[in-house]
Amino acid sequence: MTDFISLTCPSCGGKLKITSEIERFACGFCGNEYLVKRGDGIVTLAPVIDQIKTMNQGIDKTNAELAMLRLREDIRQLEKRKSAILRKRKAGIQGLASAATVLLFSWVSFSVSVSQSKGFFLFLVILAVLVILVFSFIVARLNQEYKKGKKEIKLKESQINKYLQRINY
Ligand SMILES: [Zn+2]
């Protein structure tokens, strides 16, 4: 024997009769779909569209949270790389200063020395110039890398903000 429940469609007000076991149905008048929820002896109807919307919002939020987690991890790695670059750059600048000192010393010595030792000081001058060139190149490269990392972090931070706006509707 099948029991019937009389209901009113929440959308169009049509009188409906559903069997007591049914869990989902479409209104015979307006076609809207509903999930039948039974609890505490009361039958309520939840529009299917709202259910899907809520579910999609949930998925969207989860995806956004996962993406933000990845972005934050990326930023952490970038910050680490940035401080490593800064350390290297500091060493490079110290190297430059040392080479400049050697250059000054050897240049002065070269100009005041007697002919026998002139060759040695000239060698020192050339060596110091070469070292300065190499260190300048390295420091310039590190500067570039540092700027690139800073830009990447900014980009990822703006992406996180976009995700935050999306899930805080
Ligand atoms: Zn209806």
What are the per-10-residue average pLDDT scores of the chain (169 residues)? 80 86 86 84 81 79 91 96 96 96 95 89 96 97 97 96 83
What is the pLDDT, as a whole number, of residue 88? 96
Ligand 1 centroid, distance to 49 Cα (angstroms): 14
Ligand 1 centroid, distance to 16 Cα (angstroms): 8
Q: Which residues surround ligand 1, an ion (CB under 5 A)?
A: 9, 11-12, 14, 27, 29-30
CA 133 to chain centre: 37
Ligand 1 centroid, distance to 156 Cα (angstroms): 48
Q: How far apart are CA 48 and CA 113, in angstroms?
A: 96
What is the pLDDT, as a whole number, of residue 2? 65
Ligand 1 centroid, distance to 59 Cα (angstroms): 29
What is the pLDDT, as a whole number, of residue 169? 58
Ligand 1 centroid, distance to 57 Cα (angstroms): 26
Ligand 1 centroid, distance to 33 Cα (angstroms): 8
CA-to-CA dists, residue 80 to 66, 99, 141, angstroms = 21, 29, 18
For residue 84, give both structure tokens: 């490593």
Ligand 1 centroid, distance to 34 Cα (angstroms): 10
Ligand 1 centroid, distance to 20 Cα (angstroms): 18
